[in-house]
Structures are given as C-alpha cells and as structure tokens.
Amino acid sequence: MMELAGTLPNQIAQIFSEPVVGWGDYRLLTLFSALFVHANWLHFLGNMAYLWVFGIPLERRLGWFGMVIVFVFCGALANLIVALRLPELPTIIIGASGAVSAVIGAYLGLLSSRRIGMLLPLGVFLQFARVPAVLVIGSWFTLQLVYTILGPITGLVAWWTHMAGFALGLIFALMARAIVHIKPG
C-alpha cells in the first residue's frame, strides 16, 4: 500500500523536470494520498494527537473548508517541496506530518495568544499547567529545526516535510488574516 500511495521524491522530481505537458502524470496524486497512509499505529496516533490539540481550535476559527485547505493542500505542497528539495531521495514519504505541521503553523498565525493544557512532570508527580501556545510551538519548532539540520537526510522521518508544512501553514494564516481580516485569537 505504501508503494502505491506514498510519494517517491525522485519520481516527482523527474515529472517536474519534463516539459509542462508531462505534468499530468497520475503519480502526482501521491502528493495527496501519502497524507492518509502511515507506517504503523504509533505513527498514526502521534499525528492524530497533534491534530487533536491544534486542529480542533483551528477548525473552529477557520471552518471546515479552511481546515481542508490547510491540511490537504498545504500537506500536499509540503510533500512537493520535499520532493523538489531532495530529488535523489529514494525513500517513500508517507504520513500526515507535513499536513499536521501546516495546522501547527496556521495555529501559530491565528491563535498564538492561546494557552495549551499540558501535564508537566515535576519529580515523580504530574502537574497540569496551561502553557502559552507560543512556547509549546516554539519548542516543537526548535526540535524540528535541529533534526532537519542535524538529522539524517535519508532517515525514517522526513524532517523537511515538517518544516515545509509549518511554513506553508503560517503563510496561509498570515494571508487569511490580511485578506479575509481574520483576527488573531
């Protein structure tokens, strides 16, 4: 299933190296289908946890259509950016990580003043605290950036997809604020 639905960067880069008339290749659909295929249940549940925390408030702000744009189109565009950035990558890109990262970027652009409830370890006890979203997203972003720069390019995680998705979601949110006059919350 992963071979059929996953994005192969070297194939996508090859398609875009041809004249525009060749860009109608069915393999471009894998930029979208890869968002809905995961390596295992842990991969899927990790993405869903982030989507639950950041996606529900974002959908309330943008509506279902705005959320589809952020998730599906920014996620597919993140896969495309990685395919064009790393055209020699022979590893299949699968998972919603780029799309979820776009949701996190859009959350930062639209809901940065919010607080996120977290369980923080204090010794042997867990303490519930409401932490500013900027700190939570900032620490997540820092980790993604470190792994993108220092992590292996051909590893099991497409770190560039996370960075591209985050940037695309943030750009979408800033454009939505400017064009539709969505106020940050």
Judge whether 31 and 12 are in contact, CB under 8 Å. Answer: yes
Domain ranges of the chain: 2-179
Say yes or no to pLDDT of 83 above 60.
Answer: yes
- 2-179 classified as CATH 3.30.300: no
Strand partners, 121: 126
Count Cβ atoms below 10 Å from residue 154 Cβ, excluding itself.
11
What average pLDDT does the segment 164-169 reach?
97
Tell me the CB-side half-sphere exposure of residue 61, using CA atoms within 13 A.
Answer: 24
Angle between helices 159-179 and 133-150 (to 10 degrees): 140
In tens, the pLDDT along 95-122 reads 999 999 999 999 999 999 999 998 888 8
Backbone phi, then psi, for 117, in 5-degree steps? Answer: -75, 130
What is the per-residue pLDDT for 91?
81
Q: Out of 73-87, 123-137, 147-161, 164-178, which region has the weakest mean confidence (pLDDT)?
A: 147-161
Judge whether 9 and 31 are in contact, CB under 8 Å. Answer: no
In tens, the pLDDT along 140-162 reads 999 999 888 887 654 567 788 99
24 or 70, higher pLDDT: 70
What is the per-residue pLDDT for 16?
84
What is the per-residue pLDDT for 1?
55
Chain centroid, CA 27 distance in Å: 21
What average pLDDT does the segment 171-182 reach?
87
Banded pLDDT at 64 (limits 50, 70, 90) = very high
pTM of the model: 0.89
In tens, the pLDDT along 20-63 reads 776 778 888 999 999 999 888 998 999 999 999 999 999 999 99
